[in-house]
């Protein structure tokens, strides 16, 4: 019983980053809820573990959270189109592009756009944002 209690307490105290999303859909839903609540810490906790600490600028986090989000959003992943470009600029090579496609009418599209996208990658079976630019030392 004491061992079970120990592991329960340990699990509850793990940092949020250790509880990454197991599917791209879950990561997309996390992003949607972060946009709605304007919670940058949620996004920071979903940054790829291999990204150098502090490598994702606050400006990028704010951009990920900016704008309104409609009620109807589809989460889609697609393979990275130009891997060679990403290899030059990102510290962690993204595998996919995570897209939040807004399902809205033409009037709403003019106001809020068609959606958002971010590079993502899997690590140890979990999904993370892989949007950390290389540092000058890494280039």
For the chain, give every domain's residue range: 22-129
Distance, in Å, from the CA atom of 98 to the CA atom of 102, rounded to the nearest integer, reads 13
Supply φ then ψ for residue 84, to 5 degrees.
-65, -35
- Tens-digit pLDDT profile for residues 95-108: 999 999 887 666 66
Residue 13 has a pLDDT of 44
> In this structure, are residues 102 and 138 in contact, taking their beta carbons and an 8 Å threshold?
no
Calculate the average pLDDT of the chain.
81
- Across residues 91-120, what is the average pLDDT? 82
- Tens-digit pLDDT profile for residues 39-84: 999 999 999 999 988 889 999 999 999 988 888 889 999 999 888 8
Reported confidence tier of residue 25, pLDDT bands at 50, 70, 90: very high
């Amino acid at each position: 019983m004491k061992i079970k209690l120990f592991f329960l307490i340990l699990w509850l105290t793990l940092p949020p980053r250790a509880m990454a999303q197991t599917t791209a859909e879950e990561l997309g839903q996390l992003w949607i809820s972060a946009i709605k609540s304007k919670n940058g810490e949620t996004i920071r906790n979903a940054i790829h573990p291999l990204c150098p600490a502090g490598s994702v600028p606050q400006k990028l986090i704010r951009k990920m959270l900016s704008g309104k989000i409609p009620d109807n959003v589809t989460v889609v992943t697609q393979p990275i189109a130009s891997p060679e470009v990403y290899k030059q600029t990102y510290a962690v090579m993204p595998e996919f592009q995570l897209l939040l496609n807004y399902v809205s009418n033409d009037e709403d599209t003019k106001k809020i756009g068609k959606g958002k996208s971010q590079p993502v990658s899997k690590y140890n079976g979990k999904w993370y944002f892989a949007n950390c630019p290389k540092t000058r030392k890494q280039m």
